[in-house]
Amino acid sequence: MNKAERLFQLVTLLRSRRTAMTAEAIAAMMGVSVRTVYRDVQALSLSGVPIEGEAGVGFLIRPGHQLPPLTFTPDELQALIVGSRMVQSFTDRDLARAAQQVEQKIRSVLTDELKQHAEQQPYRIPVVEDDDGLRETHGQLRRACEQHCKLTVGYADENGSETERIIWPLGMIGWSSCWTLLAWCELRRDYRNFRFDRFRSLQVLEEHFTPTPEISIAAYLKQVIGIRDIG
């Protein structure tokens, strides 16, 4: 990328963080050298961007700083639209509505050329009415994950055998063929993945749980799958 694109990316990166980032961390994320980071920080500071911090400590942008209007490359715009359409098709109604609103906001800041590109994008991801039941389940599970509410569920395994159990919903994982809920199962005292389409009953309890270093989606991904995280 050229210098202008790099500086814009650096401002965007610093604005996305609430705490200071070291030059080493910035360099690793942007794929540049630490020396380049220091030069770019200096260039932005001289241009009036309120960057605070110092070498060895980290850098951040003072709260309240406003960026100029957003600009996108054609591929970035394509990625945003495809992502929005997937949210509208494969998640719950509230999140789908939010994705539609985000797409409208994105389109409102596009140049005429990019608006034409958006209208000609080739992806079509239909919303299937038969999935309405799963969309309702998706919404219940998402809110339970966000609020750390325990759930009482009736669940059928691949052979159709049903069990009732109390689970801690930790996160939702999208696979190529289905959604699963990663949860801590009080019955098994272990992690379990539950397919959305195999829930036979679902009740959100008033009791809450607190994720711990040993029981969390990050711990599961690291210990069981052997990776740090899924974005």
Say what the pLDDT of residue 224 is: 72
* Secondary element (H or E) of residue 137: helix 132-147
pLDDT at 93 over 50: yes
Identify whether 190 is part of a domain.
yes
pLDDT in tens, 32-43: 999 999 999 999
CA separation for the pair 69, 108 (Å, rounded): 11
Determine, yes or no, domain membership for 102: yes
Residues 57 and 101 in one domain: no
Which residues fall within 8 angstroms of residue 217, CB to CB, at 6 or more apart?
170, 171, 182, 211
The CATH number assigned to the domain holding 33 equals 1.10.10.10
148 phi-psi bin (left φ>0, alpha ψ -120 to 50, beta other): left
Residue 117 belongs to some domain of the structure: yes
Query: What gap in Å lies between CA 162 and CA 218, rounded to an integer?
Result: 29
Structure-token match 């906001």, residue found: 105
Q: What is the mean pLDDT of residues 5-12?
A: 86
Residue 163 in tokens? 């069990």
Q: Model pTM?
A: 0.69
In a domain, 231, yes or no: no
Residue 69 lies in a domain: no
Question: What's the pLDDT tens digit per position in 140-186?
Answer: 999 999 999 999 999 999 899 999 999 999 999 998 889 999 999 99
The confidence band for 94, taking pLDDT boundaries of 50, 70 and 90, is: very high
- Looking at the chain, the whole-number percentage of residues with pLDDT higher than 90 is 58
Give, rounded to a whole angstrom, the gap between the first and last alpha carbons of the chain: 24
pLDDT tens for each residue of 59-72: 998 876 665 556 78
Contacts of 119 (CB under 8 A, 6+ apart): none
pLDDT band of residue 230 (cuts 50, 70, 90) is very low
Range of the domain at 90: 74-127
Q: Are residues 142 and 82 in the same domain?
A: no
Distances (CA, A) of 122 to 96, 143, 153, 161: 20, 33, 40, 43
Question: Does residue 19 share a domain with residue 97?
Answer: no
Q: Are residues 121 and 135 in the same domain?
A: no
> Residue 92 has which token pair?
């719950």
The structural domain count of the chain equals 3
pLDDT of residue 229: 45
Q: Do residues 136 and 216 share a domain?
A: yes
155 and 193 fall within a common domain: yes
Q: Residue 67: inside a domain, yes or no?
A: no
The encoded tokens of residue 118 equal 């958006």
Q: Is residue 230 part of a domain?
A: no
